[in-house]
Copies of this chain bind each other. A is one copy, B any other.
Amino acid sequence: MQPLTFDHTSFLANGERIFLISGEVHYFRVPRAGWGDRLRKMQDAGGNCVATYVPWLLHEPEEGRFDFDGAQLELEAFLDLCNEVGLWALVRPGPYQYSELAYDGLPGWLCEGYPTLRAQNLAGKDFRVSSISYLHPDFLAKARRWFHEVAPRIARHLTSHGGAVAAVQVDNELMGIHEWFGSLDYHPAAMGVGREMGRWPAFLQTRYGSLDAVNAAYGLRAKTWAAVRPLDAVTAGTPEERRRVQDYAECYRGSVAHYARILADWLREGGVDVPIVHNSPNPTSNADFRELVERMGPDFLLGSDHYYALDMDWDGNNPTPKYAAKCFYSLEELRHFGVPPTVFEMPGGSLSDFPPVTAHDAECAYLLNVAYGLKGYNYYIFAGGYNVPGTGTTSEVYDYGAAVSPDGELRPLYGAQQRLGQFLADHRWLAGAGCAADCRIGLLWEYSRAGKHGADHKGGIDFSAADAWGLFWKGLLMTAFSAGLTPELADLASDDVLARLDLPLVVPTAHTMSRAVQEGLVDFVRAGGQLLLAPVVPALDEAYRPCTVLADFLGAPVQEAYRCMAPLLTAFDVRNVFVNGGLFATTARPEDAVPVAVEERGNREIGWRRAYPGGGCATILGLHWKHAKHEHATMLANALTDLGLQRRVQCSNPLIWTALRSDGQRTMLFLLNLFTAPLTTRVSFRDTTGTWIDTGEHTLPGISVTAWTDGRVVYNTADGAKIGGRG
């Protein structure tokens, strides 16, 4: 097979922009006689790739004894067959697999026989038998032996040698095995917690230089490095305590990056020269992989996993607006890692029959990902199979409700995947298309991470980074979509902030914001950019040190938290804006600034706008909200209109979300009805020439995505599933 490459826009083969369309087919589960059939079925669905785990559990059944020849273990024969059929292979040799395998895919002898390798919480307690401390030297020694066996076997089948293997994944959903079953890992041997030497004391030495400086930063009086204990996030209140929480989280993420780098080096040593990849467990986790992405360097691609329901306790049984918003920011985050946004686990069934992953819902989920910039994906799973006896945690049969049954029968889900494949084949240009944005929303990696690992302190004027992350996606993002805007994310930690001075930029703020980001925003306004901040002007940097670079530039505004029992907020000429988060009132407005919002009961100013030399403008809105009312949408649209917004879309129904993708010549409009009732809307959009195109009135079935281009609807995900089955 030709090599698979990628740039910042898309995957490429023979110089052509393509979608990577993959499906998970497990050689160790699909009956060997069915391999060829499953591969051809994937190809017939428009696929160009298959993915498979390579379970350590199965291939090293006893310590030191490897088996690649036993029944269902002939990895290389499978890779040969991929090549024969003409599909790339994405190979995922772990160490971790999950995949409903015993011990999450690690050998049982390792998990049961070496309990000291298990990750530990702050109290020194382990999580579960298969939660291992990644950097424990004894674990690494055993993992290295595994990679030493498996890497050369993979390497024989690389595209560079005319084989099928186009990419290799290291580990699986890193960090999950710790966080889901316990916490971050605080293992003394691996992390150096409670020791004079090791990762954590080394991290502290690098960051602070001396124990005195650490004590000053943390408000401690430790006499040894070992005495500087990490702190649990829930108990952190003071800036010193929060700093300690954040530092350890950063140290932990660094350790994960180091582990991934070690695995990648072993692959390279074993001859693997194709791209190395990894999958973030879910959209919420992507930002945790910044250290990892940096450490892995070029020719590495981070993707994410985008499930919407794996059992009844998930957030919804089907794609919802919240799922869509998460997919959007996930894909945008991946784009900002400089790679084509890829979903390595796209729902292709579920381990549960109830709630079901229906073809109807899944097809909607697929196309909404495309609408938001997806460039590559892998159905998890594509074809069911049978577990090697004693190795499956759910059942002997690994059915998963996949598109293809364990015996090769096609399910309705296959139709959905085939229709999507056909759509992407019919509109190949989408591989090179980008978002036709009319505004930008600032992406603050540190806020995203704070929502997971940071100290989430509340009260008083304090608006934490975790709060800001909530405002980012439940407020700004969901409001922007409901306002018919077509936002893209701007990476505020990079030069990207200056890339589009023509689009208004909205930034969710906390009382903390790194100096670099503050400076970037100052540069943006200085260069003529139009900025909307909500709800507070930062006063500290990300480590809780005073930092008023942005405030000083804006004109030293002062705010205070303001409580009002029955608020009547008018903002940007919208009366009755629902205050469901909180208000920050202006106590000192910069000179020349004009008020933009007022709470009428108490007659308090809730925000202002000010012009700056060079044509730039900044607006601050002291409102924390979660999208709930149409007034929120009108308010945001008005605020951006004041900042020069040139809308790309007019949509008459605020419950319908839209997305526009364009390659500069062609434009595709996507209409998302992520509610369960049919909804009607009228939609127009501006094409690349600036002309408004009226697409007419649409009645959109519940849970559906519709694609419109060139005068007509070219795809509606609900059409294929009109004849219902068991789902």
Residues of B within 8 A of A353 (CB): 628-630, 654
A576 within 8 A of B: yes
Q: Is A696 in contact with chain B by the CB < 8 A criterion?
A: no
Q: Which residue of B311, B360, B601, B677 is within 8 Å of A727 (Cβ)? A: B677
Chain A 252-287 against B: per-residue CB contact (8 Å), 1 yes, 0 no? 000000000000000000000000000000000000
Contact A102 B566, CB 8 Å, known A360-B678, A675-B358:
yes
Q: 1/0 per position for A363-402, CB-CB distance to B under 8 A? A: 0000000000000000000000001001111111100000
Q: What are 26 A-B residue pairs whose CB atoms fall within 8 Å in the complex?
A: A108-B565, A312-B478, A312-B626, A316-B316, A316-B317, A316-B320, A317-B675, A352-B629, A353-B630, A354-B627, A354-B654, A356-B655, A356-B677, A361-B675, A387-B566, A395-B576, A395-B577, A395-B629, A395-B631, A396-B568, A396-B576, A653-B726, A655-B726, A675-B727, A676-B676, A699-B723
**8 Å CB contact of A311 from B358, B393, B628:** B628
Q: Mark A534-569, 1 if CB is under 8 A from B, else 0.
A: 000000000000000000000000000000011110
Interface presence of A722 (CB below 8 A): yes
Complex Cα distance, B352 from A356, in Å, reads 28
Q: Is A686 an interface residue (CB 8 A)?
A: no
- Residues of B close to A628: CB separation below 8 A: 311-312, 351-354
Quick one: CB contact mask for A161-182 with B, threshold 8 Å, 1 for yes? 0000000000000000000000
A474 within 8 A of B: yes
Residues of chain B lying within 8 A (CB to CB) of residue A391: 566
**Residue with the highest number of chain B CB atoms closer than 10 Å, among A356, A626, A723, A726:** A726
Q: Is A321 an interface residue (CB 8 A)?
A: yes
Complex interface bits, A712-725 against B, C-beta within 8 A gives 1, otherwise 0: 00000000011111
Q: How far is the CB of A675 from chain B (nearest CB, A)?
A: 6
Alpha-carbon distance between A680 and B360 when the two chains are bound, in angstroms: 13
Question: Counting CB contacts under 8 A, is A679 at the interface?
Answer: yes
CB-CB under 8 A from A601, the residues of chain B are 390
Q: Mark A314-327, 1 if CB is under 8 A from B, else 0.
A: 01111011100000
A578 is an interface residue with CB less than 8 A from chain B: yes
Q: Of B355, B474, B578, B678, which one neighbours A721 at CB under 8 angstroms?
A: B678
Q: For A681, give the chain B residue with the smallest CB separation.
A: B726
A103 proximal to B (CB < 8 A) = yes
Distance, CA A352 to CA B628, complexed state (A): 5
Report A354 CB to chain B, min CB distance, Å.
6
Contacts of A317 in B (CB 8 A): 316, 320-321, 675-676
The docked-state distance in angstroms from the alpha carbon of A315 to that of B331 is 25
B318 touches A675 (CB 8 A): yes
Residue A575 is within 8 A (CB to CB) of chain B in the complex:
yes
For the complex formed, measure the closest distance between the CB of A720 and the CB atoms of chain B, giving whole angstroms: 11
- Total copies of the chain: 2
A635 interface residue per 8 A CB criterion: no
CB neighbours of A568 from chain B (8 A): 390, 395-396
Report whether B677 and A359 are in contact in the complex, using a CB–CB cutoff of 8 Å: yes
A530 within 8 A of B: no
Asked if A322 contacts B312 (CB within 8 A), the reply is yes
Partner of A565, one of B103, B578, B676: B103
Residue A437 at the chain B interface, CB threshold 8 Å: no
Report chain B residues within 8 Å CB of A699: 723-724
CB-based nearest B residue for A575: B396
A478 and B312 CA atoms in complex are apart in Å by: 10
A724, B718: Cα distance in complex, Å = 15
For window 278-333 of A, CB contacts with B under 8 Å fall at 311-313, 315-318, 320-322
Q: Mark A95-123, 1 if CB is under 8 A from B, else 0.
A: 00000001100001000000000000000
Q: Say yes or no: A727 contacts B396, CB within 8 Å.
A: no
Interface flag for A702 (CB, 8 Å): yes
Give the distance in Å from the alpha carbon of A626 to the alpha carbon of B314 in the complex: 13
CB < 8 Å neighbour of A679 from B700, B703, B726: B726
Any B CB within 8 A of the CB of A482: yes
| Residues of chain A at interface, number, CB under 8 A | 72
Residues of B with C-beta under 8 A to A321: 312, 317, 354-355
CB distance from A404 to the nearest CB of B (A): 18
* B-contact 0/1 string along A672-692, CB 8 Å cutoff: 000111111000000000000
The residue of chain B having its C-beta at the shortest distance from the C-beta of A322 within the complex is B312
**Closest chain B residue, CB of each to CB of A698:** B724
A578 touching B629, Cβ below 8 Å: no
The 0/1 profile, CB within 8 Å of B marked 1, for residues 615-656 of chain A is 000000000001111110000000000000000000001110
Query: Measured between C-beta atoms, what is the minimum distance from A114 to chain B in Å?
Result: 15
Q: How far apart are A285's CB and chain B's nearest CB, in angstroms?
A: 20
| Residues of chain B contacted by A727 (CB below 8 angstroms) | 655, 675, 677, 679
Instruction: Check B680 against A726 for contact (C-beta < 8 Å).
Output: yes
Out of B387, B394, B396, B677, name the residue touching A358 (CB < 8 Å): B677
Taking CB atoms, residues of chain B closer than 8 Å to A352 are 628-629
Q: Which B-chain residue is minimally distant from A679 (CB atoms)?
A: B724
Query: Within 8 Å CB of A722, what residues of B?
Result: 678
Query: Which residues from B are CB-within-8-Å of A355?
Result: 321, 675
Q: Do A629 and B676 touch (CB < 8 A)?
A: no
Q: Which residues of B contact A359 (CB under 8 A)?
A: 677
Minimum C-beta distance from A467 to chain B (A) = 15
Distance (Å) between the CB of A335 and the closest chain B CB?
A: 25
Top 9 closest pairs, chain A to chain B, by CB: A360-B677, A678-B724, A358-B677, A395-B576, A352-B628, A102-B566, A676-B703, A102-B565, A318-B676
In the bound assembly, the distance between CA atoms of A397 and B568 in angstroms comes to 11
A361–B723 CA distance with the chains assembled, in angstroms = 21
How far, in angstroms, from A392 to B600 measured CA to CA in the complex? 13
Bound complex: CA of A699 vs CA of B397, how far in Å?
29
With A and B bound together, what is the CA distance between A353 and B723 in angstroms? Answer: 32
Q: Give the docked Cα–Cα distance between A722 and B678 (Å).
A: 7
Chain B residue at minimum C-beta to C-beta distance from A397: B576
A724/B700 in contact, CB under 8 A: yes
Report whether A724 and B680 are in contact in the complex, using a CB–CB cutoff of 8 Å.
Answer: yes
Closest CB of chain B to A626's CB: distance in Å?
7
Report the minimal beta-carbon distance from A55 to chain B, rounded to whole angstroms: 12
Do B102 and A361 touch across chains, with their CB atoms under 8 A apart?
no
In the assembled complex, the Cα of A380 lies from the Cα of B601 at a distance in Å of 28
Cβ 8 A contact of A676, one of B361, B393, B580: B361
A677 to B392, CA, bound (A): 30
Contacts of A482 in B (CB 8 A): 354
Interface centre among A359, A578, A678, A703 (most CB of B within 10 A): A678
- In the assembled complex, the CB of A307 is this many whole angstroms from the nearest CB of chain B, namely 15
Residues of B within 8 A of A322 (CB): 312
